[in-house]
Amino acid sequence: MAQAVQAVIQHRSADQGPGTRGVRVNVFSNMFKLVRDYEMDFYQYHVAFVKAGTEVDTIGRRRAHALLYKLQLDRAEVFVSKGAYDGRKTIYFTQNIPSGTYDISDENDAAPRAGTSKLQVKLTQVAKFSSRDLITWAEAGRQDVINMLQIYLRQLPNIKYITPAHQRNYRVFYIAKSSVPLGGGLEAWRGVFQSVRPTLQGLAINVDVTTGVMIQGGPLPTVLMERFSLSNARQLDLRESDPLWKQIRQFLRGVIVKWGGKAKHERQMTINGLVPNVGDFEFERRGATAPEPITIKDYYYMTHGIALRHPHWPGVRSMSGTIVPMELCEVIPGQLYRGRIPEGGQATQVMLNMSKAKPPQRLGVITGATLGDTLNYSGTDLIHSGMRIHPDPTRVEARRLQAPRIMFQSEARVQAGRWNVARPQLQVFQPAAAPLWAVAIFVSDRYESSINQFAQNLVQCLTGLGVSVGSTWTTVRGTGQNARQTLDQLKQLSVKPSFVLAILPESAAEIKTIVKQWGDMMVGISTQCCRIDKVAQKARDNQYCNNVALKINAKLGGINSTAMTFVTTKWFGAKPTMVVGADIGHPSPGVRDRPSVSAVVGSMDRYLTTYTYSAKAQAPNQEFIDQLDVMMEQLIRDFHSNPANNCWPQRIIFFRDGLSEGQFERVARDELGLIQAAFQRIKELNGRPRVTYVVVTKRHHVRFFPQPNDMSNVARSGNCLPGLVVDTQITSPVYYDYFLQSQDGLQGTARPSHYTILCDENKMSVDDLQELSFALCHVYASATSSVSIPAPVYYADKVCTHVGAYHFNPRILGNAPSQDGATTSGDGDSRVNVQLWNEALGPNRTELRSKLFFL
């Protein structure tokens, strides 16, 4: 890896004003002003739980909160104002509490035995500051002060709504009484998000409603039987070689369970792995003179009087090595499920129904029951801090940008960010050709009629779009057992097919993997997979067939449409410019034997519609693209070798997805340094391209709502019309940023994307950058509407998923480290051999890299 060059991160300056293009509108946001009512001093204390003068580190957050809360109630004469406690080492008061050691009582504890020490808490004052200083520091973006305000804000949830999910993310808490069963051992819980944000107008509280998927609580065997649709408890008698073993192990990793029976003796642990045949697992316990071997089955019978009913079931093991029989464990409610919910099922529909509140209803819930009852700011300790929260949502000045002109062979008619390619019929901007193509069928003959109807309709749609496609096709048939051999029959044709349409069963992940590996990495033929349930249902549906046809044209190297604005024509026409999208795809939660995949895509034409890519494996869950220098070098060389360019890019606009605000400075500085290192790697590069680095964030809770009577800014969904941009009042005082709602949400309240400019060597005007961002949301090749983020960012995300699933050579990975190794439980925390995974990726990218093979 080349030596990174130190980069300078750009912060907001006084001369950076808001943009001016677009129609001015006013909207409401779910931001509420934090107002300072009167001057107040704050005192910060260090918290230490002690026994016999020695600090105790085994107090969990939940118990620590309960103990400190009860202490303040019991000693009300000392603790006149209630403190704001972070659950660990820090508590804040608005009164000067004497430093010292205080006796504490726990109502769940039995009376201490003779000779044992009583638990105490030691409070030591470490700082004092005024509310005036506090507000000034917070508005300047000081994270430690913002964290203190977050602590004050969450005191009520910490006591009232404590769950494992809340303990892992203190800005969100979920409410059990609103849970709805999803089936499969899962539940949907309604939740509330709250966070302090420094803004240009001062401090504000971002309040939102949300929905989380939880693992249902209850006996662990019952939860597993629900989750994996087991009809008989005997099916839990598993060995490491059973296919279900790995699925259960992955599902349980990170899940918190309790065991021990009576409340006073209950213990908790976080599951890290499984142990087969747990009753016969032998360990050494302390004996009278020496350690004595004993099995877990005998230990529980002799020590607790418990005879295991299922000693041959697996046990669960913690990171520290504690092993507990599965039958004795109970899943604690309120734990977020991190996996994916299957599409199209009951769970998906329930989640949609819970999340699709239209903007007026959502804002009504936030300003009504959420603020008044659930959060109840006026009745919490926040009122003793000299601050209060204004009950009305902040009214924000915004602008609605003009939509770009969407150009096919003729201009599309755009309404609220949508266009139709069939009414009137539009022909793609640059059609591809497919004189010879094939259909690979992996389903039974009873679908023959539907498949033929679909293929004929697809030919009509392709032809209508202007694609030159053969009216007949070659057909091969196979099964999951001979998929590779079936596809290889097409290699015997005298002319290589332009693309292969693969018809797959409803659940056919393995066949799809074979199809994509064959097409992408072995023969260089574009493939389009369609599930038979969709084909049978929509064989005569022109909209569905047109969507597939648009994908196929893009996969063949054609251009479906372009977005024309001032910036995409004049500004990009002035100097050769490459737009880059970057992202990292991480393994699913619980998967520890796979790497993360980082990807960058770069535009290769002046229309910003043709892209190439570079992807690498890297350490799991690392959020920094550590091989960005090599990857950017590939993109820059691709740009230069493209006949349409025949030059080096002089400007690079880099859109980075997936960073949180806490990662901005470190990751952006390192990645900008590697981009500069990529320039150094290209000796023949004439001059260094100037870089603009923008972080695009989707995972946030800021929302915008039309004013009730402003019908000029309301789409049919009730959302603000697409193109809404906000760059004043509620934006950051630290970085230059803006919110852009580029699409009309089909269901529920649309989520704007958040753009933060961390480096701008190109000195783009605010208007040009916002216009470019909006235009790029209109060139996602397979969509007939604007999307929520710029197309290159979307593409980078798709490449991460596609490459991670299909481009690693399984023959090379035969020697990859696996968690099915030689540890006792088969659950050792093995390290991922990133070098081996990159060898499996190979030095050569797919032949299809200049086409949108990943759609």
Please compute the mean of the pLDDT values over residues 339-365 and round it to a whole number.
Answer: 81
**pLDDT above 50: residue 812:** yes
Question: 373 or 333, which is more confident?
Answer: 333
Average pLDDT, the chain: 89
Please compute the mean of the pLDDT values over residues 612-621 and round it to a whole number.
Answer: 95
Q: Cα–Cα distance between 814 and 320 in angstroms, integer? A: 30
What is the CATH superfamily name and number for domain 218-332? paz domain (2.170.260.10)
pLDDT band at 62 (very low <50, low <70, confident <90, very high): confident
Helix (H, G, I), strand (E, B) or coil at 190: strand
Q: Are 620 and 596 in contact (CB under 8 A)?
A: yes
Question: 631 or 166, which is more confident?
Answer: 631
**pLDDT above 70: residue 828:** no
Please compute the mean of the pLDDT values over residues 583-592 and round it to a whole number.
Answer: 85
Among residues 106, 48, 84, the alpha carbon closest in space to that of 158 is found at 84
**pLDDT above 80: residue 817:** no
Please compute the mean of the pLDDT values over residues 156-167 and round it to a whole number.
Answer: 64
CATH architecture of residue range(s) 564-817+827-841: 2-Layer Sandwich (3.30)
Q: Is 401 exposed, middle or buried (0-12, 13-18, 19+ CB in 10 A)?
A: buried
Question: 701 or 94, which is more confident?
Answer: 701
Check residue 426 and give its pLDDT.
95
CB atoms within 10 A of CB 70: 14
CATH architecture of residue range(s) 431-555: 3-Layer(aba) Sandwich (3.40)
Q: Spell out the alpha helix ranges (H) of 579-731.
A: 628-641, 664-681
20-29, 393-402, 743-752 — which is least confidently predicted?
743-752
Check residue 384 and give its pLDDT.
61
**pLDDT above 50: residue 766:** yes
DSSP structure string for 392-432: SPPEEEEEEPPPPEEESSSB---BTTB--SBTTB---SB--
Per-residue model confidence as pLDDT tens digits over 463-510: 999 999 999 999 999 999 999 999 999 999 999 999 999 999 998 889
Please compute the mean of the pLDDT values over residues 410-416 and round it to a whole number.
Answer: 94
Check residue 81 and give its pLDDT.
79
Please compute the mean of the pLDDT values over residues 558-580 and round it to a whole number.
Answer: 95
Check residue 304 and give its pLDDT.
84
Q: Are 642 and 605 in contact (CB under 8 A)?
A: yes
Check residue 105 and give its pLDDT.
76
Per-residue model confidence as pLDDT tens digits over 217-237: 999 999 999 999 999 999 999
pLDDT band at 115 (very low <50, low <70, confident <90, very high): very low
Check residue 823 and give its pLDDT.
28
Tokens 């009042």 appear where? 729
Per-residue model confidence as pLDDT tens digits over 295-308: 999 999 988 889 99
**pLDDT above 90: residue 340:** no
Check residue 261 and give its pLDDT.
57
- Let me know the angle formed at the C-alpha of 471 by 468 and 473, rounded to the nearest 5 degrees: 110
13-17, 44-48, 794-798 — which is least confidently predicted?
13-17
52-61, 781-790, 831-840 — which is least confidently predicted?
52-61
Check residue 159 and give its pLDDT.
62
pLDDT band at 161 (very low <50, low <70, confident <90, very high): low
Q: Are 844 and 520 in contact (CB under 8 A)?
A: no
Please compute the mean of the pLDDT values over residues 396-422 and round it to a whole number.
Answer: 95
Please compute the mean of the pLDDT values over residues 706-718 and round it to a whole number.
Answer: 89
Question: 113 or 62, which is more confident?
Answer: 62
Query: Please, where in the chain does CATH 3.40.50.2300 lie?
Result: 431-555
Tokens 């349930």 appear where? 533
Check residue 320 and give its pLDDT.
86
Amino acid at residue number 601: V
**pLDDT above 90: residue 726:** yes
Amino acid at residue number 551: K
Per-residue model confidence as pLDDT tens digits over 596-608: 999 999 999 999 9
**pLDDT above 80: residue 389:** yes
Highest mean pLDDT among 155-164, 271-280, 771-780: 771-780
**pLDDT above 80: residue 324:** yes
pLDDT band at 264 (very low <50, low <70, confident <90, very high): low
Query: Please, where in the chain does CATH 3.30.420.10 lie?
Result: 564-817+827-841
Check residue 822 and give its pLDDT.
28
Q: Spell out the alpha helix ranges (H) of 111-186.
A: 131-139, 143-153, 155-160, 164-168
Question: 751 or 37, which is more confident?
Answer: 751
822 φ/ψ angles, rounded to the nearest 5 degrees: -95, 25
Query: Please, where in the chain does CATH 2.170.260.10 lie?
Result: 218-332
